[in-house]
Amino acid sequence: METYSFAGSQALFRRAAEVIPCGIYGHFSPAPLVPPTSYPFFAVSGKGSHFTDVDGNDFIDYMCAYGPMVLGYNDPVVDEAARKQAEKGDTLMGASPLMVDLAERLVELIPFADWAFFAKNGGDMTTYATMIARAATGRSKIVAIEGGYHGVAAWMQGGGHHGVVPQDTENVVRIPWNHAAAFECVLEEQPGRIAAFISTPYQHLTFADNELPAEGYWQRIRELCDRHGVVLILDDVRAGFRLDLRGSNEYFGFRPDLACYCKAIANGYPISAMVGRGELKSEAAGVFYTGSYWFQAVPMAAALACIDELQRRDAPAYMADYGRRLTDGMKRIADAHGHDLKVTGPPQMPYLRLTDDESTMLHQRLCAECTRRGAYFTSHHNWLVSCAHTDEDLERTLAIVEEAFTVLDEEGGT
Partner 1 sequence: MSVLGTAGAAPRRDARYEAVRARLNLHAVLPGLEDVVAGDAEMAALVAGTDLTVHFKVAGGPAAAVRFAGGRCRVWPLGAEAGDGGEAAVCGAGSGAEADRGAGNGAARDGESSDRGGRHRDGEDRADGRGGGGTVTLWFTSSAHLNRMFDGSGTPIPLRGFGKLGFMQKEFTQLSDRLAHYLKPTPELLVDPDYLAMNTRLMLTTAAFAVPILLEHDPPAAGFRRVFDGGSIALTVLPDGPSVGLVLGPQRIVAVKGEIDSPTALIRMRDVHIASAFLNGTLDTFAAVACGDVEISGQLPKVDALGLVLERVPIYLS
Residues of this chain that interact with partner 1 (CB under 8 A) are 10, 13-14, 17, 22-25, 29-32, 34-37, 41, 158-161, 207, 358-361, 364, 380
Check whether the bond before 346 is cis (ω within 30° of 0): no
Reported as type and span, the H/E element at residue 102 is helix 97-109
**Minimum distance from residue 41 beta carbon to partner 1 (Å):** 7
Q: Single out the residue of 410, 319, 327 nearest to residue 365, CA to CA.
A: 410
Minimum gap (Å) between residue 39 Cβ and partner 1: 9
Among residues 31 and 100, whose Cβ is nearest to partner 1?
Answer: 31
3-class DSSP state of 305? helix
**CA distance to 104, 317, 337, 365, 377, per residue, from 409 (Å):** 55, 35, 8, 11, 19
Q: Which residues contact 167 (CB under 8 A, 6 or more apart)?
A: none
CA dist 243 and 289 (Å) reads: 29
Task: Give the DSSP letter string of 340-366.
Answer: -EEEES-TTS-EEEETT-TTSHHHHHH
What minimum distance in Å lies between the beta carbon of 345 and partner 1? Answer: 18
Give least dist CB 372 to partner 1, A: 14
**Exposed, middle or buried: residue 304 (CB in 10 Å: 0-12, 13-18, 19+)?**
buried
Task: Provide the β-strand partners of residue 351.
Answer: 344
29/45 with CB nearer partner 1: 29
CB of 70 to partner 1, least distance (A): 27
- Judged by CB, which is closer to partner 1: 32, or 329? 32
What angle in degrees, to the nearest 10, is found between the helix axes of 315-336 and 297-312? 70
Between 3 and 311, CB nearer to partner 1: 3
Provide the minimum distance between the beta carbon of 32 and partner 1 in the complex, in angstroms, as a whole number: 6
Q: How far is the CB of 168 from partner 1 (least distance, A)?
A: 13
Q: Which is nearer to partner 1, 10 or 390 (CB)?
A: 10
Beta strands in 146-203 (DSSP E): 172-175, 194-199
CA 293 to chain centre: 21
C-beta of 29 vs 91, nearer to partner 1: 29
In this complex, which beta carbon is closest to partner 1, that of residue 50 or of residue 365?
365
CB-CB neighbours of 190 under 10 Å: 15
Three-state secondary structure string covering 128-148:
HHHHHHHHHHCCCEEEEECCC
CB of 227 to partner 1, least distance (A): 31
Nearest CB to partner 1, comparing residues 290 and 359: 359
CA distances to 44, 68, 143, 390 from 52, in Å: 6, 17, 42, 17
Rounded to the nearest whole angstrom, what is the least distance from the CB of residue 157 to partner 1 in the complex?
11
